[in-house]
Structure 1
């Protein structure tokens, strides 16, 4: 080696490394200086709260509790940039400030604060507890999650002026996927260590980057309802003598709260939606809005969102929201504070009602929240829990909202009654709630008892079971015109196991002398949605909605006959919130199928009929409906069926392992026959086990399937699935081993050229057959499916199962072109595998008539993995046995035994040379 050259190279490398280090040092120094300049607190916040040196960490004084929630507007270029055009419902603009550290400084009443401000567009909330009560915050998560943006802030807070100013940064991605580093200054006002209903924290967050910088974002305005050291001043001042209310409520007609259940528990759920019911003088042409005539419409719904609960659990704060016209709150929350109220309430244990004082939020425009403040506080609300339900009142929570203003004063409105919506009904479960039957005499006239026809061995659902709830498909003269659901409210005089919040009165059950021993009093609530284009006359007399369908709510009560499965009721149809009209001239007739009936075709059938004269405006033509029966006993049987199918799947795969092992032994005992096995057939069999392994691997990470939700108990089902996967893996590896043996044997000598020619010709014949068959089946099935995923993906998977059922077809074609008599396949192999593929079709015939159809619950003979029907369950076994018989005859009479004799004799054969006595002579066409 030339040492001089080595020395020169070393010097050059050292010089280059030194130069690079210097460049990197000055680059980093420039970045640090730039960052320090941009984040210099004094340059952005010195005029708001002067900077001071931190001394000690403070644990008792803080501008916020550990986590303070709020709302925001703006920042559209970095927030709410979801690429999903079909995201539904629209996201709420919520945020949360997490306080990490608070330090005292050398300046009295000035504190250094460090924390995170998290923006998130989501409906997910989590509940946390603190010493100040119960708080509900937007769910915070890693800022990498779509829809969240997390800023790290540090700055100073003046307790005297109530101002907080902070600088910080955050990271997000642009629409093009580029990483953006956002620098911001946050300025908040009215940050006090104590607050009341008039205290609102408002402010702005501005970008520290110039407008032409890619990291720039639009200004963001912030609004928070302070939760630290809150004082309930309004409710204590206005309700010293109790909650007055506007409607006289009889004593003992409202339920009280127990010692173990507080009013905060009742409203802890976020979805507290109520439907407003206006007086008769209010209509679509006149605004009777609780927000004044300036709103331009009368809201249909109201939403109560609890902000905070007091330490004694008797007082609480609400954000009271009113959504846009003709929209339902749960689908349209948008944090529009111009149509919202802030309120505080207290539970009156003497009158058993919740009393709320509500205030307007003024100057909260859609573009900025910075100037928001609390305005007029002369709105009142009261809520109570009715003790008795009936066919005309099925609400478990009712209330009223009114104005304390003079009638001639601007903003006055008449008392508005509100009730919980049908989607929330029954969520409130208070002890002592009763149901009172009011239409018993009318039911007896409209619903005569039906006699038992024929078979008395039929058993029908128990009236107290969950089998009484069902879904409906509404049918018209031209087909399906809508859908709906029905669920019991009260049954007999016993607490219902599935609906324990309803306890009917003991006098509600009819005596045997009046209605028969088998009759049981029952009450229902039916929700129906009808396409407006298919409406009958009289279904929408008040033209309540202009969207694509009409919502109908029917309360009904009547008798259920457990001997015949007949349910007959008188119903009341509710005709809208702007009027109190109900149509109670309705008869509902339902027939349940027997528990021991055919599972596949069992349907619940019924009708909804109007008893009014045809000339009446509320009369409508009968609505016929039907629904699939899903009885609990059937579901239990289906769970047992799933366990059985687990065992069958393991047995099936175990037998496949045995048969392929026997085939491997067969080719090892007779090496000369190994090349005569069709490689295409072995590849198809290997794919039979590879595809389920891939699909199961994907499903293993998907925990949201319907089967996981209703059938997974403990780890037993998961362990069975692991066993199935393990056995499937062994079967796959053995098939790969057999394929490798055949491939290696065929590739070992040049003399096997005839085998490759036969394989190639077989491939040329099989592929067009497979493609043509797929096209024929897909064209034949197009009329029964309207989804691309179902027709292409689902159909191709089922067709692959059909190819597997005919796995012997490539071997038959291969034998034909080779005209081979070799015993290439062991009898155990081709007969055993044929049976393994055919048994599922026989089982499907049995399962179809003995078990209810439950989506995503099939483990063995899965309908999505093959063609299963009465016709296919006959065709496939016949085809499989036919192919097995051909293989048997080919290995004795020759590969072309089924062809015309002249074609067989037109081929001459040359015996190929053999290298050992173990190899059998192979024949090739000349």
Structure 2
């Protein structure tokens, strides 16, 4: 062991990772962010110092400031109106932070001035190569970072300026943003759907008398070289966009100039950042490119100044309600924490736009997307309605205050951004430019009216167009036609030249985390109770089958806690379409069914994780903290939300529904309403048939599986959505039938958790007993050296692999935990506590100990065979060898596996060896073939029949003594069969998604079925009996019998002339005990005849 030196500690460190998930750091080497390596290469290319700094682990570029004369020459015209404030240099240390952070922006926009010499490819759209259709339109993005402020460079001779370093990145992207400084070796890089140009710069920061802040910079980069064809100068573009390994020719260019203008303060009218990137080359030179305009806005590090008092009064004081403008709901939020509530509602949430269903003016006016102006190439898409286009509220600044009369109020500003259906939502989420699809807003909220009224200014022009009014409310009464927690409208001012129909928007009720005081103030108003009763009566059957069903089967109901019913009736599950129509195509879809209200109880909190829904009701607590019980009156009035998405995540249908739930039959009968997103012409024709712009001619039925017969009935949920309209109606849709994957109720999840804990304890007990058997065998080996070579190494290898596989799986799980929140998600899914992790660690620790003991026994057996071979170098056939044993066992197991596979295929003749999808505990789908699954299960059978190699070896070799101790092979056999005994006695717990995680027995496995629980133990016991017989009447005793009967049948060591060993060698064998055989207490020395 000394020969291993310090290397023997390395496995221990790795095993610490396996067992405890410990974080081990070797020396000074640690994982670093991706940007670190990239920044180092960027520095090496440009020969500049890269220092860590900035936000989010970014890496800052610092220039050598060796181009000061050039900067003064080219920036002189911009610095003629410098501020003469004498405090500039005194306050420079304080301003350094503001310059570095306030003057940086992310994901702005760039626009190229017209000309025939573009800076880089536009690639404004991404085209699918398979069908050549535009899937989404990319954005021209620009990000800018001030990376260094050289305070020491400020001097009176240069005026109120200071040297700065910066990085500008301009790109075109359909997939990713420019939120981080991702520098590259070449300055320009292009991939399918993405192109990026990085420019490093140095220059000056200055403050002008007008209050404007200015940056004038000179930059250097490597630009792509244009071709001679002016119509298509980028001959390398098409191959790159199609994924080919083509790259443009890059040319160094140090003649780049950037000028950026920043307002001094962030207000409603002064928030835009503008600038220009241009080439200093002559227009006739090949490196010259058309000027590029840059646009963004002041970011999160700038303080907002509320000062739009006069404009606010113009928009919100003594106003007349226009047609289509939102009206105040009967009950709205008037609490004291408006800013907290509105930020919870709007931060990071997409706001849905409602169609102009009640517009009665011209088609041009009614089809407009509110005040937003979109490019001409989007007109065809927008004419089909607003379906897929959404609003995003960014940069929310809100300050609560209290009025002198005791009422509450708040000042709020924000940017409302429209993202069209053809644009990438993820990129739109991060953009910062102020174009014609944005509104900068500022306004007030007060608790007297509960209304937030704001003035809006549209971007995209040199001067913002401030002719819009935005109104919002937070309603507290929900109903079938009102399922919004925030609703509002955007309208033009009365005397405004902007002509458009008010654009209504709302925020759905989920998935949100509202403050408890808001939810506790909410109520639900049922309006379709009679229609739901009629649906239930239509489906009601008084037959014998229904009566038996009601008397024998149990369904989710209110017991002592309404929360269980909320939880059990809500769904997050995959589903299959057309389950009852074999001839119809079956497609996979994803269902989200959330129960909003049961009687007068409202629940709006959901934690979505891995296909399960946990609701937290904050509205059903009395002042004493006890939950109010729901009356046992049946059926219950219920309200729900349904969303169905296809396998690509696209919305198939979205319904709000209300009706009744009959807990005696496990059925919900609901009336549904859906938003109508159709072209304006169709909407106008059907407007009289709509209810508040909703199509409510829909009936919706949900059938739940019983809670007490999950082994007799398929535990799936059936959903049926039907339109009551005639087939020639433009709003008609075909009936939708869906069957979910098997589901679990809360009580069943609790049973799974308890079973996992029990099985973890049984695993610890079993492994502890196996350790005792292994230690017993190890002691036996030390005292029975003469029989040690006859222990099958293959048998020990099967056991060792069985112990090592869980450890290998543990390593994979460890890496998954290091890179995701998977462990927290799993705890929330099955509500496992920390105790389950302790059990898991103990099981891994015991498994490791069993593995090491097995390795030690292998080492003993291997060394004993080496010693035996060294003493009989001319007779290697006398030394036991596992080659023939392995060949025979392999043949037996191949034959067994093929037989099992054939039987399995016959049993599932309607689904021959095919691919199947299974869901892991994260909710992810994986593909697994039948033969792969059966192979994994068959290896469990190989472990159960671990004595097979020993039986074969005992038959082939001339076994001397008893290689295996009875306690070892009988004890391990019994312990290996314990899972089968447990599985046959334990009532089955249905666990469709997590069956592979049972630590003790997998009830879904063919080999842990009832037949397997009988057949496998019989085979294992038979092998143990054979080993006992072989060791009880081993080769020597049979040899004695055979010698007494007929010497012809006696096994001979050799059929040829053998050279006798020398007396010295014979004496060594006697002294070592290698040839000593213990027979009935007497020592017999083996001799050859």
TM-score category of the 2 structures, normalised to the smaller one: 0.7 to 0.9
In structure 2, the residue matched to 1:453 is 548
Return closer, same or farther for 1:710/1:609 CA change in 2, 3 Å cut-off.
Answer: closer
SS in 1 for 2:969: helix
Q: Is 1:382 aligned to 2:471, yes or no?
A: yes
> Shift of residue 197 of structure 1?
3.5
In structure 2, the residue matched to 1:321 is 417
Q: Is 1:302 aligned to 2:390, yes or no?
A: yes
SS in 2 for 1:831: helix
In structure 1, the residue matched to 2:1081 is none
Q: 907-916 vs 581-590, which deviates more?
A: 907-916
In structure 2, the residue matched to 1:670 is 784
Q: Is 1:340 aligned to 2:437, yes or no?
A: yes
Report the Cα distance in structure 1 between the residues aligned to 2:1006 and 2:1037, rounded to whole angstroms: 31
Q: Which runs of 5+ in 2 are unaligned?
A: 1-43, 50-61, 111-118, 223-239, 283-287, 402-409, 606-614, 623-630, 906-911, 918-925, 1055-1060, 1079-1083
In structure 1, the residue matched to 2:626 is none
Q: 41-50 vs 691-700, which deviates more?
A: 41-50
Return closer, same or farther for 1:344/1:45 CA change in 2, 3 Å cut-off.
Answer: farther
Q: Which runs of 5+ in 1 are unaligned?
A: 1-27, 124-136, 211-215, 364-372, 507-514, 532-546
In structure 2, the residue matched to 1:681 is 795
Q: Is 1:519 aligned to 2:599, yes or no?
A: no
The answer to whether the 8 Å contact 2:353/2:503 transfers is no
> Shift of residue 315 of structure 1?
3.5
In structure 2, the residue matched to 1:277 is 355
In structure 1, the residue matched to 2:492 is 403
The answer to whether the 8 Å contact 1:684/1:807 transfers is yes
In structure 2, the residue matched to 1:14 is none
The answer to whether the 8 Å contact 2:556/2:707 transfers is yes
SS in 2 for 1:888: helix
SS in 1 for 2:846: helix
SS in 2 for 1:279: coil
Partner deviation per Cα, 1:708-735 (whole Å, 9 max, x = no partner): 5545766433333322222122111110
In structure 2, the residue matched to 1:203 is 275
Partner deviation per Cα, 1:470-500 (whole Å, 9 max, x = no partner): 2462441136344422111111123448556
Aligned counterpart for 2:482 among listed residues 374, 383, 393: 393
The answer to whether the 8 Å contact 1:600/1:851 transfers is no
The answer to whether the 8 Å contact 2:660/2:669 transfers is yes
Partner deviation per Cα, 1:349-384 (whole Å, 9 max, x = no partner): 243233343333327xxxxxxxxx454333333222
Aligned counterpart for 1:462 among listed residues 554, 557, 572: 557
Report the Cα distance in structure 1 between the residues aligned to 2:775 and 2:68, rounded to whole angstroms: 76
Report the Cα distance in structure 1 between the residues aligned to 2:219 and 2:279, rounded to whole angstroms: 10
Q: Where do 1:375-774 residues align within 5 Å?
A: 375-404=464-493, 412-421=499-508, 430-431=518-519, 432-448=521-537, 453=548, 456=551, 459-463=554-558, 464=562, 465=564, 466-471=567-572, 473-476=575-578, 477-478=581-582, 480-481=586-587, 482-496=589-603, 517-529=633-645, 551-576=652-677, 579=683, 581=690, 582-598=694-710, 603-608=715-720, 610=722, 612=724, 617=729, 618=732, 620-621=734-735, 623=737, 625-703=739-817, 704-705=821-822, 706-711=825-830, 715-750=834-869, 751=872, 753-754=876-877, 756=879, 758-771=881-894
Partner deviation per Cα, 1:398-447 (whole Å, 9 max, x = no partner): 2222334879x6x6322222222576578687352221101112222221
Return closer, same or farther for 1:625/1:637 CA change in 2, 3 Å cut-off.
Answer: same
> Shift of residue 905 of structure 1?
8.0
In structure 2, the residue matched to 1:539 is none
Report the Cα distance in structure 2 between the residues aligned to 1:859 and 1:485, rounded to whole angstroms: 31
Aligned counterpart for 1:891 among listed residues 1012, 1020, 1031: 1031
SS in 1 for 2:653: strand
The answer to whether the 8 Å contact 1:57/1:101 transfers is no
Q: Is 1:106 aligned to 2:182, yes or no?
A: no
Report the Cα distance in structure 2 between the residues aligned to 1:468 and 1:632, rounded to whole angstroms: 10
Partner deviation per Cα, 1:605-640 (whole Å, 9 max, x = no partner): 334254747666437446253453322222222222
Report the Cα distance in structure 2 between the residues aligned to 1:219 and 1:772, rounded to whole angstroms: 75
SS in 1 for 2:263: coil
In structure 2, the residue matched to 1:876 is 1016
The answer to whether the 8 Å contact 2:100/2:149 transfers is no
Report the Cα distance in structure 1 between the residues aligned to 2:827 and 2:866, rounded to whole angstroms: 48
SS in 2 for 1:461: coil
Return closer, same or farther for 1:37/1:70 CA change in 2, 3 Å cut-off.
Answer: closer
Aligned residues: 836
Return closer, same or farther for 1:176/1:585 CA change in 2, 3 Å cut-off.
Answer: closer
Aligned counterpart for 2:916 among listed residues 770, 785, 797: 785
> Shift of residue 861 of structure 1?
3.1
Report the Cα distance in structure 2 between the residues aligned to 1:904 and 1:192, rounded to whole angstroms: 111
> Shift of residue 801 of structure 1?
2.8
Q: 113-122 vs 343-352, which deviates more?
A: 113-122
> Shift of residue 72 of structure 1?
3.9
SS in 2 for 1:682: helix
Q: Where do 1:783-862 residues align within 5 Å?
A: 783-785=914-916, 797-818=936-957, 820=959, 822-845=961-984, 849-855=988-994, 857-861=997-1001
Report the Cα distance in structure 1 between the residues aligned to 2:898 and 2:316, rounded to whole angstroms: 80
Report the Cα distance in structure 1 between the residues aligned to 2:816 and 2:486, rounded to whole angstroms: 38
Partner deviation per Cα, 1:479-530 (whole Å, 9 max, x = no partner): 6344422111111123448556896999xxxxxxxx9823221111112246
**TM-score normalised by length of structure 1:** 0.75
Report the Cα distance in structure 1 between the residues aligned to 2:705 and 2:856, rounded to whole angstroms: 53
Report the Cα distance in structure 1 between the residues aligned to 2:423 and 2:398, rounded to whole angstroms: 32
Q: 376-385 vs 750-759, which deviates more?
A: 750-759
Partner deviation per Cα, 1:307-360 (whole Å, 9 max, x = no partner): 141555834443333333467846865748655213113233243233343333
Partner deviation per Cα, 1:543-588 (whole Å, 9 max, x = no partner): xxxx997611222222223344333223334443654644434433
The answer to whether the 8 Å contact 2:200/2:219 transfers is yes
SS in 1 for 2:439: strand
> Shift of residue 792 of structure 1?
8.0
Return closer, same or farther for 1:284/1:619 CA change in 2, 3 Å cut-off.
Answer: farther
Return closer, same or farther for 1:715/1:76 CA change in 2, 3 Å cut-off.
Answer: farther
Q: 637-646 vs 902-911, which deviates more?
A: 902-911
Report the Cα distance in structure 1 between the residues aligned to 2:712 and 2:281, rounded to whole angstroms: 66
Return closer, same or farther for 1:619/1:360 CA change in 2, 3 Å cut-off.
Answer: closer
The answer to whether the 8 Å contact 2:136/2:422 transfers is no
Return closer, same or farther for 1:505/1:58 CA change in 2, 3 Å cut-off.
Answer: closer
The answer to whether the 8 Å contact 2:257/2:277 transfers is yes
The answer to whether the 8 Å contact 1:304/1:318 transfers is no
SS in 2 for 1:488: strand
Return closer, same or farther for 1:869/1:97 CA change in 2, 3 Å cut-off.
Answer: farther
The answer to whether the 8 Å contact 1:113/1:157 transfers is yes
Partner deviation per Cα, 1:657-685 (whole Å, 9 max, x = no partner): 11111111222222111000111111221
The answer to whether the 8 Å contact 1:659/1:828 transfers is yes
Report the Cα distance in structure 1 between the residues aligned to 2:878 and 2:753, rounded to whole angstroms: 50
Report the Cα distance in structure 2 between the residues aligned to 1:863 and 1:680, rounded to whole angstroms: 29
Report the Cα distance in structure 1 between the residues aligned to 2:535 and 2:296, rounded to whole angstroms: 58
